[in-house]
């Protein structure tokens, strides 16, 4: 275990670059944006959902710097909850391990999870790729997978500033990827209005993947603006392993 309190289980052949995952700039921006509370309604909803499901062995896939992960184990009951966060980005896990204690932090790949068969009763998958065969293997029967993805109109006005044509997100496509062994229990929507100042807008731009597909001049124009009003809108798919 590293001094900061995490384990690195990422094998060389699992890396798609010398330093996979989010950049230091993106991580810094994400932490500042999230800790300002802009996505707090989603974090609160995940906390309530994990508690309601009675989850006791939880994995947060693609956990990043741990903002959402830290809410999953804060159960209202007295039953002990074991929480792990896994991400391919070592700098993200280092940030998480320094900030949030009592959670098992792992540098690793979602394509090869370091967990025994049917050893988890809840896996959360926020804005990251689904590795269905591994999810099917590690989630116990009757356990749950929670997929969080942008709703069709998520950050619409931000995207309208970046692109000439804005395409609606398609959250339901993830259900088609799951195939046999999973059934949809619930479909939730979490929406809140954002009134962002210039620095918060710049942080959001630095942490979102949208900017890498946008023209540089469009990004620069948004970064120079005094702020932006938009809406964060997330789709939460609660899927049961059957």
> Which residues line the annotated binding site for S-adenosyl-L-methionine?
39, 65-66, 154
Burial 157-184 (b: 16+ CB within 10 A, else e): ebbebbeeebeebebeebeeebeebbee
Burial of 235 (0-12, 13-18, 19+ CB in 10 A): buried
132 CB-near residues (< 8 Å, 6+ apart)? 177, 178, 179
DSSP one-letter code for 148: E
DSSP state of 204: H
Binding-site entries? 39, 65-66, 154
Rg (CA), the chain: 18
Burial 25-45 (b: 16+ CB within 10 A, else e): ebbbbbbbbbeeebbeebbeb
């Amino acid at each position: 275990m590293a001094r900061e309190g995490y384990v690195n289980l990422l094998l060389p052949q699992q890396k798609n670059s010398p330093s996979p995952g989010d950049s230091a700039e993106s991580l810094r921006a994400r932490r500042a944006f999230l800790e300002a509370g802009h996505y707090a309604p989603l974090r609160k909803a995940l906390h309530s959902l994990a508690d309601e499901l009675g989850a006791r062995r939880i994995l947060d896939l693609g956990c990043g710097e741990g903002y959402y992960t830290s809410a999953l184990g804060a159960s209202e009951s007295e039953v002990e909850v074991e929480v792990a966060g896994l991400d391919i980005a070592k700098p993200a896990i280092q940030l998480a391990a320094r900030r949030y204690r009592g959670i098992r932090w792992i540098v690793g790949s979602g394509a090869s999870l370091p967990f025994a068969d049917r050893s988890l009763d809840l896996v959360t998958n926020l804005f990251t790729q689904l590795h269905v065969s591994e999810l099917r293997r590690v989630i116990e029967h009757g356990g749950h997978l929670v997929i969080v993805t942008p709703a069709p109109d998520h950050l619409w006005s931000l995207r309208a500033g970046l692109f000439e044509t804005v395409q609606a997100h398609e959250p339901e496509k993830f259900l088609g990827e799951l195939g046999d062994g999973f059934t949809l229990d619930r479909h939730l929507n979490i929406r809140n209005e954002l009134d962002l100042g210039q620095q918060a807008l710049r942080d959001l731009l630095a942490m979102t993947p949208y900017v890498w597909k946008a023209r540089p001049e469009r990004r620069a124009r948004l970064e120079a603006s005094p702020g932006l009003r938009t809406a964060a809108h997330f789709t939460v798919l609660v899927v049961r392993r059957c």
